A and B are shown apart, each in its own frame.
Chain A
Amino acid sequence: MVLIKYNAGNIQSVSFALERLGVDFTISDDPETITKADKVIFPGVGEASTTMAYLRDRKLDEVITNLKQPVLGICLGMQLMCRHSEENNTPCLGIFDQPVKRFIPETDFKVPHMGWNSLTKVNDWIQPDLENKSVYYVHSYYVPVNNFTSAVTPYTVPFSAAMRKDNFYAVQFHPEKSAEAGQMILKNFLAI
């Protein structure tokens, strides 16, 4: 298991969550180490354009796109796996041919979408017992519901809480901060 090392804000938290699960893993930005790993986690907290620039500078964009083993993108990691983000008009990796949009705030829907919200319509790799379980979110951008969506969370609009395409798995919430529900999802991924 390799946790991709880059300028993401939640690497420490994700590695602590993996430690709590007793997982053996390394943190690396070396293309060969990442490519040879049996599983890869692509974390992410930060801003889309600077993060994409960072990944391109180190050719990690190509490395990630070409991975064949199970890959889990978290939060910004999931957004960067999409085609394009409205956050500073950023072209992304294009693994999921989907746009990333900004929530439009309303009086009763603050932005960032921050706090615990429920998983609904769970399917595919998100297990049925996670239906209606709450997970922790903090984000201002979202991926609309699409053919790859594995769980939906309702907010100003329903959005993709989780997705999968082939070997690429992704969650918009923070499993590393989502108490028992988050641990279950990390375990699900690790058991694939």
Chain B
Amino acid sequence: MLSKRIIPCLDIKDGRTVKGINFVNIRDAGDPVELASTYAQQGADELVFLDISATNEKRKTFASLVKEIARNINIPFTVGGGINSTADVAPLLEAGADKVSVNSAAVRNPALVDELAKAFGSQCIVAAIDARYVNEQWIVHTHGGKQPSDKELFSWAQECENRGAGEILFTSMDHDGTKNGFATSALASLHEQLTIPVIASGGAGTVKHFLDVFSIGKADAALAASIFHFGEIRIPELKKYLAQHTIPVRI
């Protein structure tokens, strides 16, 4: 049976994991490769690395980091952050990334999704969508959730699928950082509507939230950052809990 995936997300700035990571038994939590290896050993199913470097110059160092990650971990990983064109994607995939995620650039220029899917295959194109619930509508936001766009979550997700995205990464800006649970009803609607997998993001605080996102939200995968980085939830315990509640997980 296909397992539900648990995906830790790491923010990378200038080649280092951003501060605030508090991990037991790790020498250098700022080293993305060491942190990634630790998560892989703990049973993470995939990893996501988001490059939040401010300049293009610093972004170039990201490709060499991607290569080091690929050299050292034996599970799949997605990279994203600042991807605007096929030229941005090629070096990341050549370095060994399995998938790339596009966000703001696709909202600005939806044809980018078609171009990327055609050039590299749908399986490696993740459409990342940040949305906020405003006046009874899920409004897609760009620039890290700061700027509202003219797009609505469900129609935009469907459009991304039609244009060739292989997966949707949906972050609820209303839930992100709250630790009050995922946006399960919006996720369940995406599941009903789409034929490609959906990764849920934003709101993870307890193991019960993961159970809910899979059983009620019907998500194919769940992504979280701080609760893993701070050791509030450990992946082996989380998977054990999910398995006890009959969620298929890889143990």
Contacts and interface: CB of A to CB of B under 8 A. Distances in A.
Contacts of A105: 195
B194 interface: yes
Contact of A118 (B1, B75, B218): B1
A117 B2 contact: yes
Contacts of B138: none
A179 to B, nearest CB: 5
Nearest to B249: A116
Contact of A140 (B122, B194, B198): B122
Interface core residue of B94, B124, B250 (most chain A CB under 10 Å) = B250
B1 A177 contact: no
Nearest to A153: B2
A139 B124 CA distance: 10
Contacts of B5: 115-116
Q: Identify the interface centre among A13, A111, A118: most chain B CB within 10 Å of its CB.
A: A13
Interface string A106-117: 011011111111
Interface in A7-54: 9, 12-13, 16-17, 19-20, 45-47
Contacts of A13: 70, 96, 98
A178 interface: yes
A164 interface: no
A160 interface: no
A179 B198 CA distance: 23
A77 interface: no
A138 interface: yes
B122 A9 contact: no
Interface of B: 1-5, 40, 45, 67, 70-71, 74-76, 93-96, 98, 120-124, 166-167, 191-192, 194-198, 218, 220-221, 250
Interface of A: 9, 12-13, 16-17, 19-20, 45-47, 105, 107-108, 110-118, 134, 136, 138-140, 154-155, 174, 176-180, 182-183
